[in-house]
Structure 1
Amino acid sequence: MNDLVRVMKAADAAACWHVDQRRKGAAQEPYLNHLLEVASLVAEATGGREPDLVIAALLHDAVEDVGVTEEQVAQQFGARIAGIVMEVTDDKSLPKAERKLRQVASTSHKSREAKMIKLADKTSNLRTISASPAPDWSVQRRLDYVQWAREVVAQGRGVSPWLEAQFDAAAERAIASVSDHAV
């Protein structure tokens, strides 16, 4: 099976697995949009030369958010991709504050691939905070998220200058969007 077919199969699986999910933003866009944006960012950052990374990006939230198992990912897409997905999967049995601390503490020890997905994921999330913030997120919560995302990304820098620039621009836009609404 060629790489394009594999990527499309992963996009289809992501669409099926996340069909009922919506983003938290005011626009309530389909969650698949986030997965496609993360995959697009890593595809562009790698010049399209790393289809396994694009596939892992498409599937990066499947275990964490919808209960797909590592074994299902491995069976359909291979052990390498499942390993990358698991590397970026938070342990949802832990309290949210603990998960956030662990992301900061562990990112520097992750593989290059996991760091790239983290970078792209945080970039996508910050873009959403700018364009369509969650209605129940206060200005302070948005600022706190930007600060936390910067802390996570600081631990993963050095893998893609282009992707890091995308993140930095998204962080600046998120701060500006909060400033525009803070009266």
Structure 2
Amino acid sequence: MDTVRTFEAAQGWPAVRAALAARLPAAELGRLDEAVAFAEQWHGDQRRPAGEPYLEHLLEAVLVLVDGVGVTDTDVLRAAVLHDVVEDTGCSAAEVRERFGPRVADLVDWVTKPEPADGQSAAQARAAYLDRLRLAPEDALLVKLADRLSNVQRLDTHPRPEKRRSYYRETVRTVVPLAQPYPWFRAWYAAWAEALAPLDGDEG
């Protein structure tokens, strides 16, 4: 993975905030402070599959958007911080809308995987969610691409071979096509797919 850029946020929000200070005005950083505090409140002690604090993943997505793509739109960055708060905590979409406004709430909604409908399996619901992303507005796609980048950038270290295979294949099949209109993401995912291609036949 030497040729694929990775994004790290293990030192937490103060370090990420300091890194963003050269790119974003103080007032915009203040708006991000609020989103980070909200995410911390709701995600609490949640951990990612590899054991890192949940907030680390959210901040990686922000770093991807700012340092990788050059996004400075604070609503998009706040949506990146909040993108899992409805899906993975008890927070409601209405609470996000009340606190952060309709634009942020709509972006979060686009990237929130819904519960399966009646008669629908979890796999079918996931497939429908990924298919719906083809209709998403550009800002929502940027959030999704940053989210998935954080999830897959170190996929080769995932402890479960079957998860490595299935997530690699799903990303190549459904997410890489979404990256094609965006030069930075297109290049990153192409390099990533090539570097991690052995995962496709990984037997552990």
Task: Give the alignment's TM-score, normalised by structure 2.
Answer: 0.76
Q: Report the CA distance between 1:65 and its aligned residue.
A: 0.4
Q: Do the aligned residues in 2 keep the contact of 1:157 with 1:164 (CA within 8 Å)? A: yes
Q: Match of 1:76?
A: 99
Residue identity matched to 2:132: S
Q: Report the CA distance between 1:166 and its aligned residue.
A: 2.5
- RMSD across aligned positions (CA): 2.3
For the residues of structure 2 that align with 1:153 and 1:60, how far apart are their CA atoms? 16
Q: Report the CA distance between 1:149 and its aligned residue.
A: 1.3
**2:154 partner SS:** helix
**2:179 partner SS:** coil
Name structure 1 gaps, 5 residues minimum: none
Q: Do the aligned residues in 2 keep the contact of 1:40 with 1:54 (CA within 8 Å)? A: no
Q: Match of 2:173?
A: 151
1:117 aligns with 2:139: no
Q: Report the CA distance between 1:30 and its aligned residue.
A: 0.6
Name structure 2 gaps, 5 residues minimum: 1-25
Of all paired residues, the percent bearing the same amino acid is: 31
* Higher Rg: 2
For the residues of structure 2 that align with 1:42 and 1:78, how far apart are their CA atoms? 20
1:33 aligns with 2:56: yes
Q: Report the CA distance between 1:11 and its aligned residue.
A: 1.2
Q: Match of 1:90?
A: 113
**1:156 partner SS:** helix
Residue identity matched to 1:35: L
Equivalent pairs counted in the alignment come to 176
Task: Give the alignment's TM-score, normalised by structure 1.
Answer: 0.84
Q: Report the CA distance between 1:159 and its aligned residue.
A: 4.2
Q: Report the CA distance between 1:123 and its aligned residue.
A: 1.1
Distance 1:29 1:163, change over 3 A: same
Q: Report the CA distance between 1:33 and its aligned residue.
A: 0.7
Match of 2:193 among 168, 171, 176: 171
Q: Match of 1:162?
A: 184
Distance 1:179 1:98, change over 3 A: closer
Q: Do the aligned residues in 1 keep the contact of 2:42 with 2:89 (CA within 8 Å)? A: yes
For the residues of structure 2 that align with 1:147 and 1:179, how far apart are their CA atoms? 7
